[in-house]
Amino acid sequence: MSNFDDPVSTALVDIQNTPDERQIAIDKVGVRGIRYPISVLDREKGTQHTIGNFSLTVDLPHHFKGTHMSRFLEVLNEHHGEVSVESLPKILQDLRERLDAKSAHIDVYFPFFMTKQAPVTGKEGVMEFTCGFLATSNGVSDFQLYAQVPVTTLCPCSKEISAYGAHNQRGYVTVRVRTTAMVWLEELIETIEGCASCALYPVLKRPDEKWVTEHAYENPRFVEDMVREVALAFNRDPRITSYDVEVENHESIHAHNAYAYLRKDS
């Protein structure tokens, strides 16, 4: 029997644990692009099953050559896909302990589905939003909610200078917020939609389309208006302590997109 066939006599070298002489620490090392079934909190149903796209990283001290990539997946599997404000600190702690790291980071993005009713007829449909959690533990824990919300924006300038009509477009509002108490993803989405010229709906009949068109016309918004309106709404919520807000309009009459960004630190 060869040494290859004999597990007792075979010693597998752990290259990751060998010393590195370059004396350069790495801020983040780990795995990305992990698609994994997860369950997240749902305001109406309690939980919602979806698919998370994970990035899991830790710091690497200067004296280690590499990290153990398989351990990231082991930790994730041990938590059975439960991802919430409550579970993330434990996952981060397990990553730090398992990988002998001072800091650990989790970024997970997932499709989140809401049932929405048309504004006049009440016709229901399911609409998808991209949401996520961004969490870090390095002695001090940090947690952010992420949401990207598509909306309708109608151009104030177009409305003002045109004899009739005004151009509108689909805008995308992307936010990252820190909170001191529970904020439902649905609340975050609805707050952002309320700042737009109009929300989007999965199902619209003719009476709904009339209402949406006229509502947008009565509530024109530049991208500058959008980031400011979202900021004002967040400022009114005592649970929200800091935020990043960016808006990008996919312009309907220009060959470019309009963009605005602002942030508020704690």
Query: Strand locations in the chain, DSSP E?
Result: 26-42, 46-60, 104-117, 124-137, 141-154, 168-179, 198-199, 240-250, 258-264
Per-residue pLDDT tens for 65-86?
A: 667 788 889 998 888 767 777 7
Considering the domain boundaries, does residue 167 fall inside one?
yes
CB 51 within 8 A of CB 111: yes
Considering the domain boundaries, does residue 201 fall inside one?
yes
Considering the domain boundaries, does residue 155 fall inside one?
yes
Check residue 208 and give its pLDDT: 98
CA 224 to chain centre: 22
Considering the domain boundaries, does residue 16 fall inside one?
no
Name the domain count of the chain: 1
Check residue 126 and give its pLDDT: 97
Nearest to 226 by CA among 253, 197, 252: 197
CB 248 within 8 A of CB 258: yes
CB 173 within 8 A of CB 224: no
d(CA 103, CA 140): 9
13 vs 33: which has the higher pLDDT? 33
CB within 8 Å of 241: residues ≥ 6 apart: 178, 179, 180, 266
pLDDT beyond 70 at 8: no
Considering the domain boundaries, does residue 18 fall inside one?
no
Which residue range(s) make up the domain with 113? 29-264
Nearest to 225 by CA among 203, 249, 202, 256: 249
10 Å CB burial of residue 230 (0-12, 13-18, 19+) is buried
Lowest mean pLDDT among 37-41, 172-176, 257-261: 37-41
Per-residue pLDDT tens for 80-122?
A: 767 777 788 889 999 999 888 899 999 999 999 999 999 999 9
Token pair in block for residue 167: 């151009």
10 Å CB burial of residue 113 (0-12, 13-18, 19+) is middle
Considering the domain boundaries, does residue 195 fall inside one?
yes
Cross-strand pairs, 144:
134
CATH of the domain at 201: 3.10.270.10
Considering the domain boundaries, does residue 20 fall inside one?
no
Which amino acid, residue 30? Answer: G
10 Å CB burial of residue 79 (0-12, 13-18, 19+) is middle
Per-residue pLDDT tens for 139-191?
A: 788 999 999 999 999 999 999 999 998 999 999 999 999 999 999 999 999 99
Considering the domain boundaries, does residue 4 fall inside one?
no
Which stretch of DSSP H or E encloses residue 231? helix 223-235
Which stretch of DSSP H or E encloses residue 69? helix 69-78
Mean pLDDT of the chain: 90
pLDDT bin (cut points 50, 70, 90) of residue 12 is low
For CA atoms 201, 207, 213, 215, the dihedral sign is negative
pLDDT beyond 60 at 5: no
Per-residue pLDDT tens for 204-233?
A: 999 999 999 999 999 999 999 999 999 999
12 vs 181: which has the higher pLDDT? 181
Check residue 9 and give its pLDDT: 47
pLDDT, average across residues 44-73: 86
For 204, phi then psi, to 5°, come to -135, 125
- In angstroms, the first-to-last Cα distance of the chain is 65
Check residue 24 and give its pLDDT: 85
